[in-house]
Amino acid sequence: MKIVVLAGGTSPERDVSLSSGSKIYYALKARGHQVILLDVYLGLDTDVPVTEALFEACVDWAKDIQAVSESHPDLSRLKEQRKDGGRSMFGPNVLTLCEMADIVFLGLHGANGEDGRIQAAFDLMGIRYTGTGYLSSALAMDKSLSKQLFAAAGIPTPKGISLKNGQSADSASLSYPCMVKTVCGGSSVGTYRVDRPEDLADVLADAYTFGEDVIVEQFITGREFSVGVIDGKALPVIEIAPLQGFYDYKNKYQPGSTIETCPAELSDELTRQLQGYAEQVFEALKLTSYARIDFMMDSADQSFYCLEANTLPGMTPTSLLPQEAAAIGMTFEDLCEELIEVSLARYERT
């Protein structure tokens, strides 16, 4: 197949996306597909006519991709790399090449990639892509809306309040520690643990730099888990145990920062319960194709709480979904093929 892998973009998760995209690119190349890796924002700026021959060109499209750094990237200079000033999310020739492809593998993360906007544009243009549709992407991306849907479906989720930029919380009415999260962030960018009431105002001010909406959420003391779901069926549970702090951006993407155990050391009963919740979340958010669902388990009573759903989960060397797939004997190349197949099946059903 002719496949475009889209990565990069303009979210704080840009570097993570590029790392995911490069790994996907090499896996699909190894399977004999004709693959092009593109930065959705920078595109392919060339004076040479763009034709389908590019899919057959002897080019390593991922050779300049670097490892994910300890901190999220500085995006302020990104627009300077676009000759047109970056008026559109789609860089030069991106849409042209995506229209030529049999399918676009979305290796994007975060805003302007995982929030349904690109999915909606592709739907209007008749471009096939991996992952769920535009509406379910948007619902899952908005932590405030998704928590409401979890509650309506009877899926436990930490108690929380939603705030808009300019609003302040009554710090005295909250229990500490608590978590502050930008509503539409990912990779734990814009996520903070607040231990003291006097720190809340400064943390909120920083969180608002990532978006206009935040949630202040009950802190759950216990173990953290994630469950991948492919075509509605849960994969083995993986446990995430950071060596220091919580599962933040650094601990997610720096090798050796976190101990990950898959299958997680849980009883059969708790494993089935957690996988059941993951499949319920998949259904409640009207997800299709695949996703990864994150949970906490309260150490006091072993109750599970759903944190969020990731509709385009990471595919980096340290990412969770590939580890879960490996636990059932699926190689990374197998996983990439499977995600394409379940995504194409969505088009066959419509």
Catalytic residues, by residue number, are 13, 187, 253, 292, 294, 308, 310, 314
Residue with tokens 């059969």: 268
Secondary structure string (H, E, C) spanning 159-178: CEEEEECCCCCCHHHCCCCE
Structure tokens at 137: 């992407």
Rounded-to-integer distance, Cα 127 and Cα 99, Å: 6
Radius of gyration of the chain (CA): 20
Residues near 190 by Cβ (< 8 Å), separated by ≥ 6? 12, 181, 182, 207, 209, 210, 211, 214
Asked if 19 and 51 count as a contact pair (C-beta separation under 8 A), the reply is: no
Q: What's CA 258's distance to the chain center, in Å?
A: 18
Burial class (CB in 10 A: 0-12, 13-18, 19+), 209: exposed
